[in-house]
Amino acid sequence: MRLNKAVAASGLCARRKADELIFAGRVAVDGKSETNPARRVGAGEVISVDGKPLRRKPEYAYLLLHKPVRTVCTLSDPQGRPTVMDCLPETARGLGLFPVGRLDYFSEGLLLLTNDGELANRLTHPRHHVDKVYEVLVRGPVTERQLDVMRDGMRLSDGTPLLPVEARRIKEKREGRDTLLCLTLRQGVNRQIRRMCDDLGLTILRLRRVTQGGLRLGALKVGESRFLAPEEVQKLRNNAGPAETP
């Protein structure tokens, strides 16, 4: 972030006044006077005005990744497996990003990463029921009865109750030997789709998340990522439910 923007973002003054303070030599970065308003400052650098440190607002970042299969959604892995952090571009490293929720090891698709803990909590909190849409390729045909069980809100074999799932066929492939489903979930039960399909006798061949919080995976290739535009971040906020009240 530019120094003048960081000073203004602290709430101390407007951008024009921030420029005046910097030109006057009243602003320091890590104890050294700085007179260039365009100087870039990192999250770890301390800005002070007239010797008093500013309380800086955090600089948030939001990334959409097409997670590959055989990749874990953690910051590191004790077994040495690839993690989603290995997929990040250089421009996203050092920002303190972390995954918003998870996709299991053998699943792929849309995964959000951010350093905005408040929004991440709203997106994953059970009470907000943020929609997540998956394309699921299963072996063989799928009956209407099996879809109805999902739609009615099934109970897993271990007793876990599930909310109703929007379930429909997209198409049958290989002359009906495989079926592509579209499933919309509104809760975050661990490995929910795989457990549902296991209980219904369906074998998953591919599981890909294509939508979350109103954002779509689109044509993003496996392993690629992009930063969200401001309007996309606002869409996430709108779909994530109300913020926590103190």
The residues that are catalytic are: 104
* Distance (Å, whole) CA 208 – CA 192: 13
* Distance (Å, whole) CA 89 – CA 174: 37
User: Going edge to edge, which strands form the sheet with 27-29?
Assistant: 32-33, 27-29, 47-49, 52-53
117-124 helix and 230-239 helix, angle to the nearest 10 degrees:
50
* Distance (Å, whole) CA 19 – CA 2: 11
Residue the block writes with tokens 């250089």? 90
